[in-house]
């Protein structure tokens, strides 16, 4: 009798397992695949998703009787999009967020912005600085809706650098008075100078869970004090930051406009350069030789200052950057630099849809296929440089293959022929799936 009970228990357990497994399956059938790598679409095929990963891709792929079935009607299946340069928490003026608003305001705005970004088809982002750890945790726990976040955490900035946001000139320096900097308390910036300080700042950021480290290496458009042309941090300070990141198995990226700043960062060992518009041919050659990924923006430097929310001195610095943009783009293209896809759209939350303008802004320099590779597998390569610090270790990102994360989109049109398709996700993205969960399905 004991043996019969034990056998029945095993049978019931097995049946429950099989039932649960079937409940977690989705079969997407009758689709042509852009896998994030190949220029040629696949023949019409099926994709079986189990839990949050792609289990099978074939014309014979089938699912259990309780699985969800989505008929793609011969349309195109794309990997979820990746934006490699965002500031998900930056949805108002930076002084408003740091100094003049309740702490909860930034989080509430960011939660709304994150869901909007997901519904634009972005299933993963690299956040290039800001207090995004809490939002990331809420999204990962399925409390909030939004993309996966590779969070940089605190900006690492020198005094008077791009992350020194306090615009007052008669302030009491925290360095001398031992007072707390609100930008530090709210998770935006660690202002630090000298090798010992930058080491400690980097270690603290890694302690908090930074996936990669963001160095402010040159002047900026939005900075309170730094002209665009200045170089920030010494080579020794840069090397110290990079070394600390490498000891944790991850990498540092650098905000840099000036040629000297970019070269210092490459010599120090950064793995990607943000903006980089004023790099010389020699500098881009260094970038190519050392496999440094270039994450610049095209639409962000193709606007009127007032449309981007810039005025006064900030508008002047924006126009200065804009004047050098085309040369930077052409040099990078000529040298064959590996290009990431990032937007750096920040400021007021209603600027968020400008993220989509990046697709057609790149069309002057790249084919639709090249742009789609940038926003998928190229960006995934960049994210993979965080190694074991990546919070998403189960599968690959930015591609459609067996074992990859089930971050999938179904497109009404073919972006490999007309990249403008990607600028209208409301009408052209019929399915948005992230981590195996459907967030939008309007397939008829």
Residues 6+ apart with CB under 8 A from 10: none
Q: What is the pLDDT of residue 10?
A: 52
Residues 6+ apart with CB under 8 A from 44: 30, 31, 32, 59, 74
Q: What is the pLDDT of residue 8?
A: 47
| Domains observed in the chain | 25-80+396-441 (2.30.40.10), 81-365 (3.20.20.140)
Percent over 70 (pLDDT), the chain: 94
Look at residue 9 and tell me whether its pLDDT is greater than 80: no
Q: What is the pLDDT of residue 302?
A: 86
Please state the φ and ψ torsions of residue 312, each to the nearest 5 degrees: 60, -135
Give the helix/strand (H/E) hosting 198: helix 195-208
Per-residue DSSP letter, 313 = H
How crowded is the C-beta side of 183, counted as CA atoms within 13 Å?
24
What token pair was written down for 178? 């031992």
What token pair was written down for 417? 């022929």
Please state the φ and ψ torsions of residue 436, each to the nearest 5 degrees: 80, 0
Residue 316: CB atoms within 10 A of its CB come to: 14
pLDDT in tens, 310-369: 888 888 888 888 888 899 999 999 999 999 999 999 889 999 999 999 999 999 999 999
Contact 301, 308 (CB under 8 A): no
pLDDT band of residue 383 (cuts 50, 70, 90) is very high
State whether residue 307 is helix, strand or coil. Answer: coil
Residue located via tokens 């496999």: 291
Spatial separation of the C-alpha atoms in residues 438 and 24, rounded to whole Å: 12
What is the DSSP track for 364-386? GTS-HHHHHHIIIIIHHHHHHTT
The structure's pTM equals 0.93
């Amino acid at each position: 009798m004991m043996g019969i009970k034990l056998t029945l228990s095993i049978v019931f357990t097995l049946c429950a397992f099989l039932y649960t497994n079937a409940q977690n399956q989705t079969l997407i059938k009758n689709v042509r695949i852009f896998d994030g790598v190949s220029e040629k679409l696949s023949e019409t095929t099926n994709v079986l998703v189990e839990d949050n990963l792609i289990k099978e891709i074939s014309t014979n792929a089938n699912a259990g009787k309780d699985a969800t079935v989505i008929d793609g009607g011969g349309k195109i299946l794309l990997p979820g999009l990746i934006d490699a340069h965002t500031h998900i928490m930056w949805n108002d003026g930076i002084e408003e967020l740091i100094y003049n608003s309740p702490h909860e305001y930034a989080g509430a705005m960011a939660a709304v912005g994150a869901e909007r970004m997901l519904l634009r088809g972005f299933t993963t982002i690299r956040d290039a600085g800001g207090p995004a750890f809490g939002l990331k945790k809420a999204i990962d726990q399925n409390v909030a809706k939004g993309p996966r976040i590779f969070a940089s955490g605190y900006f690492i900035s020198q005094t008077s650098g791009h992350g020194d946001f306090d615009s007052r000139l008669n302030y009491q320096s925290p360095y001398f008075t031992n007072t707390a900097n609100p930008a530090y308390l709210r998770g935006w910036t660690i202002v630090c100078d000298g090798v010992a300080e930058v080491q400690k700042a980097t270690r603290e950021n890694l302690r908090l869970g930074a996936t990669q480290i963001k160095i402010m290496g040159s002047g900026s458009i939005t900075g309170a004090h730094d002209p665009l042309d200045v170089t920030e941090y010494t080579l020794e300070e840069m090397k110290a930051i990079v070394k600390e990141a490498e000891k944790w198995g991850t990498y540092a990226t650098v905000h840099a406009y000036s040629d000297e700043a970019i070269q210092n960062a490459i010599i120090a060992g950064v793995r990607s350069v943000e903006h980089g518009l004023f790099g010389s041919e020699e500098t881009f050659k260094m970038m190519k030789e050392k496999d440094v990924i270039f994450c610049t923006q095209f639409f962000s430097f193709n606007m009127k200052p007032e449309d981007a929310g810039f005025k006064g001195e900030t508008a002047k610095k924006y126009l200065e950057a804009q004047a050098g943009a085309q040369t930077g783009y052409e040099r990078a293209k000529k040298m064959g630099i590996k290009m990431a896809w990032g937007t750096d759209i920040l400021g007021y939350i209603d600027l968020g849809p400008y993220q989509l303008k990046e697709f057609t802004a790149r069309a002057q320099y790249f084919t639709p296929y090249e742009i789609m590779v940038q926003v998928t597998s190229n960006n995934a390569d960049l994210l993979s440089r965080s190694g074991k610090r990546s919070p998403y270790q189960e599968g690959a990102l930015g591609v459609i293959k067996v074992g990859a994360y089930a971050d999938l989109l179904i497109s009404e049109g073919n972006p490999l022929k007309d990249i403008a398709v990607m600028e209208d996700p409301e009408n052209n993205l019929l399915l948005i799936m992230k981590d195996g969960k459907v967030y939008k399905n309007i397939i008829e």
